[in-house]
Amino acid sequence: MTGFHYVYMLSDVATHTHHYVGMTEDLKARLEKHNSGQVPHTSKFVPWVVDAAIAVRNKSVAAHLEQYFKSGAGRSFANRHLFSQPLIGES
C-alpha cells in the first residue's frame, strides 16, 4: 500500500531468537535487503521473516512506534505478543 510507513519486526528463520525492529515505506523491498545481506546489522543471521508489521500514515507516529519497540518495555511487549516462537523440536 502506498502512503504508509511500516514499523516491522523480524526474527531469524533458523532459530527465531534474533530479532530486529525497523521502519520503512516499502516492506517487501526492505525485507529483500535484509535477506540479501545488504543491512550490516542483520546480515549475520539471514534469512529473516516478518513476524509483525504496523502500518501508519504519519511518519512521525511510525518513528515513535519504532523507538518504543526498541525500548525495554517495547521489546518486552513484542517478545510476549508479536514474535513467533520456534515449534517444539525445531532449532
Cell numbers 504496523: residue: 54
Q: Is residue 40 part of a domain?
A: yes
Q: Is residue 89 part of a domain?
A: no
Q: What is the pTM of this model?
A: 0.86
Residue 63, domain CATH: 3.40.1440.10
Q: Which helix (H) or strand (E) holds 66?
A: helix 59-70
Sorting pLDDT into bands at 50, 70 and 90, what band is 91?
very low
Total domains present in the chain: 1
Q: Is residue 88 part of a domain?
A: no
Q: Is residue 24 part of a domain?
A: yes
* Residue 79 reports pLDDT greater than 50: yes
State the Cα–Cα distance between residues 40 and 24, nearest whole angstrom: 16
Q: Is residue 74 part of a domain?
A: yes
State the CB neighbour count (10 A cutoff) for residue 21.
Answer: 20
Q: What is the pLDDT of residues 28-70, one digit of tens each?
A: 999 999 999 999 999 999 999 999 999 999 999 999 999 999 9
* Residue 25 reports pLDDT greater than 50: yes
State the CB neighbour count (10 A cutoff) for residue 56.
Answer: 16
